[in-house]
Amino acid sequence: MIFSKNTILKKIEQKLITISNFDPTSLEDASYDLKLGYFFDEIKQTWSPVSPFGLQVEPKGFLLAKTQEKITLSPNIACMIFTTSSLAQKGIDAIQSSSFCHPKTNNEMTLEIFNHSNQPIILKLGQTIVKGIFMEVG
């Protein structure tokens, strides 16, 4: 069962889900919006800070980026993350393979960002980039 907004809030109150930098305005009817974080990597195994002006993803370009939020899940809760439709409509895919957050996850999400378009796209620091959908495992 996918958690509703009220269930997500209840699980947070029960400390079964923890979202650092929790923002109530990011809570949707059945998901939580995660924002572009402070660090990215161009597959050089060195995390660099995102510029205050944003992160430019070149046409057909690929890079990794972290979410601002750290998610901690109890042993019986999992989360799936999906690129927001507004970014997908511009040609950005933020989840190339690892969309599943296992129970007991305790970290920022690493996003695999690819620009399918022929134009450079700038992602802003703090911009909503993926949605997390929570569910019970059992």
Q: What is the pLDDT of residues 106-130, one digit of tens each?
A: 999 999 999 999 999 999 999 999 9
Report the distance separating Cα 76 and Cα 81, nearest Å: 17
Q: Give the per-residue pLDDT at 98.
A: 75
Amino acid letter, 127: Q
pLDDT in tens, 6-56: 999 999 999 999 999 999 999 999 999 999 999 999 888 889 999 999 999
Instruction: Return the residue matching tokens 């949707």.
Output: 28
Q: Are 77 and 136 in contact (CB under 8 A)?
A: yes
Q: What is the pLDDT of residue 136?
A: 96
Give residue 27's pLDDT. Answer: 97
pLDDT of residue 44: 80
